[in-house]
Structure 1
Amino acid sequence: MTAGTTGQDPDRVTLRQILAYDEDGVLRLLLAPAGQDVAVRGLIIGDEGAARPHERRIVLAAGLPPGPAAARATVREAARRGAAAVVLRESEDAPVPADALAAAEECGIALLARAAWADWGDTIALLRSATAFAEAGRGGPAADPAEGGGLPALVSATARSCRGSITVEDTQFRVLAHSATGPDADGVRRSTILGGRVPDRRVAELRRSGLLRTLWTSQDVIHRAADGDSPERLIVAVRSGGEMLGSLWAAADGQRLSPDAAQVLRRAATLAVPHLLRHRLRESGTVRREAYALRGLLHGDGDRRAHLWSLGLPSDAPCAVVVAVRDAAEGARAERTLEALAIQATASRPTGRVLREDDQVAVLLPVGDIGDGRRAALSLARELDALAAGIPDAAPVWVGAGQTVRSGLEASHSYGKALLVVRALREREARGRDHPPVRHAGPGDVGPTIDALRMLDAVRPVWEDGDGPLHELIRADLATGGDLVRSLAAYLETAGDVPKAARRLVLHPNTLRYRLRRVRERFGLDLDDPDTRLVLTLAVRLTGVL
């Protein structure tokens, strides 16, 4: 739907119809001073058209600056220009300002809030499909499901009219609705309906025959003659504009299709558009809402019980989190590797919840009990590591398993520990601690390194606030390449064994002794003093030069 039109009769589309269509809660009505039966004629995104009247459109306040003043001004300006409603963004920590509510009440304009889990694309898709649904009318085969109709009613009516069996499929070949199946139905139809989707072998056959290519590109009804046990079929794509939403299939079921079957199917495809748009919107909304809920659980944000409910998980089930993290410098290679890991986790752990974002894949893994949790999490970590290692030319990926927690309400603790495990693995690899590198582990496998990292995190502010010869040494040497810092790190890690430290640095021992003498003479540091050695050890670790 674009600004300027919602169809031939815009007054048929009301705010009430749009909200009734919104089953997933993309929008929340805050107030409607003029009632919900106000006509809606389209939408405006942001401040589209500086002086253009809004003429009963819904204004999406995208790109709105933060703060109540901007929200209040947007509401007032939209009302002045004749808008029907304004949609503001809302989050759990930033509700719609009271000033905006007061302005809407005063100006007599409806005010809505966009759900925290949704984005403006979801809102636009909702308004577009809700408008198409409302414009399709409330009578006949396009009737609302609450009134005993919807897609099943459309399919039944179409089957009667064309005297055939009807199946509606989405673009993933999943069956969304079908008419009654008679005793003479062919085997492909029966297996498709029983399985809820077209069998893979059938999809492969349709691809080889070129039928799918024709379907995706054709604007008309496709005829397929009877062939052996396969009856005569008519197929038509369901499109909204240029967007492919799915397809309708009519099969002769013990009798010939009606002479006007193609015309009936063409009309049914038009009436099916809003229903398939609703299916796509619901599917998209479910995926986005679940991702929002899982992100909230892992990061400890928002209402954790509500997040568990959104994910369909009980609040008393133990769980563990497994995280796979890529090397951010690897770019597209690492992206492909993470995508493969996300698919593997989804396919191999049906009860798990997988979140793919930025440079990582996180898996919330429900487990039977606390005792099983460590084994289950480590098993998945090992599996993902093996997959990453087996991908040709794959980028490095480190996989950490967090501790098992008593409930998904505590998932953030397991997630934090899994990230610490990944940090520990990368730290050990960078320092040459493991040969060959170990790329997956649980907390118990790298416990001392995790403790060291947490101590370093705690001591960092103390170090950064300090001054003196040690700080002067670190700052001055890093500014000129860091040779002294690296030499000190090797010397301290080998417990003062100069020959061993020199081999690690690929230096002559006398060169290392010269550098250590420079540290003593130039900065006045006593490397035999326990306190000096402790602070130096922490300082060189904090620099991250190794």
Structure 2
Amino acid sequence: MTSSTPHSPEPAIALREILAFDDSGTLRAVLVPAGPDAGVRGVAVGDEGAAQPLDGCLVLVVGAPAASAGAADAVREAARHGASGVVLRDTPGVATAPEVLAAAEETGIALLTRAEWATWADTAALLRSALACARAGLDDGAPGIAASGAESLTALADAVAADTGGSITIEDTRFRVLAHSATGPEADGLRRSTILGGRVPRWRVAELRRSGMLRLLWTSRDVIHRAADADGPERLIIAVRSGPEVLGSIWAAADGRALSPHASGALRRAAEVAAPLLVRHRLRESGALRRRELALRGLLDGDGDARTHAWSLGLSPDAACAVVVVDRDAAASAGDRTLDVLALHAVSYRPSVQVLRDGDRLFALLPVGVGRERDALGLARELATLAPSLPGGVPVLAGAGPVAATALRVRASCEEAALIVRVLRERAARADGAGPDRYADAAAVGPSLDVVRVLNAVRPVWEAGGGPVHELVRADLAAGGELVRTLSAYLDASGDVARAAARLMVHPNTLRYRLRRVRERFGVDLDDPDTRLLITLAVRLTG
């Protein structure tokens, strides 16, 4: 069990304040024996076997749901270690088990449930943000930002404007304006169009992306300075974060006068105060976001009603679309942060782009207008080029699928994009020192795409078969795969022993010896065309 309770106790926050912060409907108070003023000091995530002090924590019980009688043990365990309450997973249409209610009544701790659509990560972020926001408001003597920030994003924008001497916008990661300060008569045209349109204009986002400013924003943890130029006045920008996750950004623009010398410090404080408010904003949308994620997954996988999925994503079912698949390099030991930044970058490519992160893979659904059929390749190129240049970035492979005539047919585009990534990965594995291609569309990979389709089709036949070639491959792979690698190099070199030996970094006589072993030990005749074809397929299927 892990707890956010620090060594020196934080002030307790009344449970009613935490519930008031939750305007997303994530939490429901089932039973509060000590009343709504019961104090909460922190959040802990644990299981039924934990044994550590939980002074005043709300414990997220990730095991049995509230409808299960077994959850009563978790309630008693949390109470025994000093917890102020527990949060259990709700089961729609099923009441909380009587045993669980009795355990909460008996121990006197609060019993809350988490909405079925929310995740434990959502719930933990909500609770920690509620505590941080409430504590920011405890100090009535705090100046400017600290005092106003706990009220609303608009109040925060006004407070930051007063502290920096500039005009403020607070934006989410899609560059939608969530709040802004009053606009003075000297405001530049970009600020006016951004506020009137409710989001940063597309041309401006494209410019920031091309200049590298977005990459800097998503990866930097400090204030970024943008000098005045012909297009606008001096600006200061800072990303708002919750741990490693970027929630949005705050922009301060000089508005007819110079920014305050203390503006950078004011922005740093504002980013801290804004984080819980942006978490709350995100949680308000989390139900809709989760529905959009399910709709996008359904559209890409071909599950469910495609027309309904398209409308849920705000897409016309008749809209032409293409899919870009991004896969991190298999040799990279890490890369989660890289994919997170690439997801933000993909959304900035065009507001209509829909992004889905699935493990080590990223999917981007891109509506494509007439005459812009190569936009998907452009996005693939940007993402593949950007990834290794990020701080701590790892290489990725990006495949651009073909344009599907309607959104209802994007599954085929997604499948082809994934096959293109597979081709790129296989080419990288066979590269002879040359830098492999990191992005491509079907035209760029040529017949290799059809070869991958053929391999997929013949795999069941190979796996069900037998004979000398099967015996060779299975025995050699079990022994380390030396002969299979030798055959792969020999076949790729079209039977040129010298070239194959150079690739394997062995003497040509060593390679000839290994080929004799293939013939003498396993009875495999490389001069027979059918045998060569079967070996070629076997080597490609087994890597």
Question: TM-score under structure 2 normalisation?
Answer: 0.61
Instruction: Name which of structure 1's ranges 296-305 and 462-471 shifts more when overlaid on structure 2.
Output: 296-305
Equivalent residue of 2:398, what SS?
A: strand
Q: Deviations over 1:243-293 (max 9, x none)?
A: 82359xxxxxxxxxxxxxxxxxxxxxxxxx6x8742453258769985995
Question: Corresponding residue for 1:214?
Answer: none
| Structure 2 counterpart SS, 1:60 | strand
Match of 1:176 among 150, 174, 179: 179
| Structure 1 SS opposite 2:535 | helix
Same amino acid, percent of matched pairs = 38
CA contact (8 A) 2:78 2:86 kept: yes
Correspondence for 2:326: 324
Question: Conserved in 2, the CA contact under 8 Å of 1:171 and 1:244?
Answer: no
Could you list the per-position Cα deviations for residues 323-380 of structure 1 after superposition, in whole angstroms to 9, with x for gaps in the alignment?
A: 3334242568x889868865654443333234567655542212236xx574321333
In 2, Cα distance between the equivalents of 1:394 and 1:134?
38
Name the residue aligned to 1:39: 37
Distance in 1, Cα, partners of 2:535 & 2:160: 81
Could you list the runs of 5+ residues in structure 2 that have no partner in the other structure? 146-150, 201-223, 237-255
Q: Residues 351 and 169 (structure 1 numbering): CA distance in 2 closer, same or farther, change over 3 Å?
A: closer
* Aligned amino acid, residue 282 of structure 1: H
Asked if residue 363 in structure 1 is aligned to residue 361 in structure 2, the reply is: no
Following superposition, the deviation at residue 112 of structure 1 comes to 1.4
Give the counterpart letter for 2:422 in structure 1: R
Distance 1:482 1:32 in 2: 60
Question: What is aligned with 2:296?
Answer: 297
Match of residue 441 from structure 1 = 440
Contact kept, 8 Å, 2:22 with 2:280, in 1: the verdict is no
The offset of 1:424, in angstroms, is 1.0
Partner of 1:488: 487
Task: Report the RMSD for the aligned CA atoms in angstroms.
Answer: 6.0
What is the CA–CA distance in structure 1 between the aligned matches of 2:159 and 2:377, rounded to whole Å?
54
**1:244 aligned counterpart, secondary structure:** helix
Q: CA deviation at 1:421?
A: 0.4
Alpha-carbon distance in 2 for matches of 1:310, 1:122: 26
- Residue in 2 that maps onto 1:112: 113
Partners of 2:433 and 2:287 in 1: CA distance: 40
Once the two structures are TM-superposed, the CA of residue 401 in structure 1 deviates from its matched residue by 0.6
1:427 alignment partner in structure 2: 426
Q: Post-superposition shift, 1:469? A: 3.2
Please state whether the residue corresponding to 2:351 is helix, strand or coil.
coil
Change over 3 Å in CA distance of 1:24–1:368 after alignment to 2: farther
Q: Does 283-292 or 109-118 show the bigger shift?
A: 283-292
Task: Give 1:423 shift.
Answer: 0.9
How far residue 32 of structure 1 moved from its aligned partner, in angstroms, is 1.9
CA shift digits 1:52-101 (9 cap, x unpaired) = 6877x6332258899957644324545788966532357xxxx5896964
Displacement, 1:400? 0.7
Unmatched 5+ stretches in structure 1: 143-148, 208-227, 248-272
Match of residue 249 from structure 2: none
Q: 1:313 to 1:88 in 2, by over 3 A?
A: farther
The AA in structure 1 aligned to 2:364 is V
Q: Which moved more, 1:390-399 or 1:462-471?
A: 390-399
Given that residues 66 and 96 in structure 2 are in contact (C-alpha distance below 8 angstroms), is that contact kept between their aligned partners in structure 1?
no
Q: Secondary structure at the match of 1:32?
A: strand
Q: Output one character per residue of 1:159-188: Cα deviation in whole Å (capped at 9) or x when no partner.
A: 9xx9xx997766999883545x7xxx6636
Corresponding position of 2:354: 353
Write out per-residue CA displacement over residues 375-425 of structure 1, whole angstroms, 9 at most, x where no aligned residue: 321333345556679999997543211233466566555333212101112
SS in 2 for 1:325: strand
Match of 2:269 in 1: 244
Aligned residue-pair number: 464
Partner SS, residue 329 of structure 1? coil
CA distance, structure 2, for counterparts of residue 106 and residue 302 of structure 1: 42
Q: Deviations over 1:283-327 (max 9, x none)?
A: 587699859954873474998989867865555533221133342
**Residue 88 of structure 1 contacts residue 96 of structure 1 at CA under 8 Å; is this kept in 2?**
no
Distance 1:133 1:438, change over 3 A: closer
| Structure 2 counterpart of 1:403 | 402
Conserved? CA contact 1:152–1:177, under 8 Å:
yes
Question: Structure 1 residues 89 and 367, CA, compared in 2 at 3 Å: closer, same or farther?
Answer: farther
Secondary structure of the structure 2 residue equivalent to 1:400: strand
User: Secondary structure, in 3 states, of the residue corresponding to 2:364?
Assistant: strand
- CA distance in 1 between counterparts of 2:155 and 2:295 reads 39
Residue 88 (1) aligns with residue 88 (2): yes
User: Closer, same or farther in 2 for the Cα pair 1:359/1:78, shift >3 Å?
Assistant: closer
1:125 to 119, 122, 128: 128
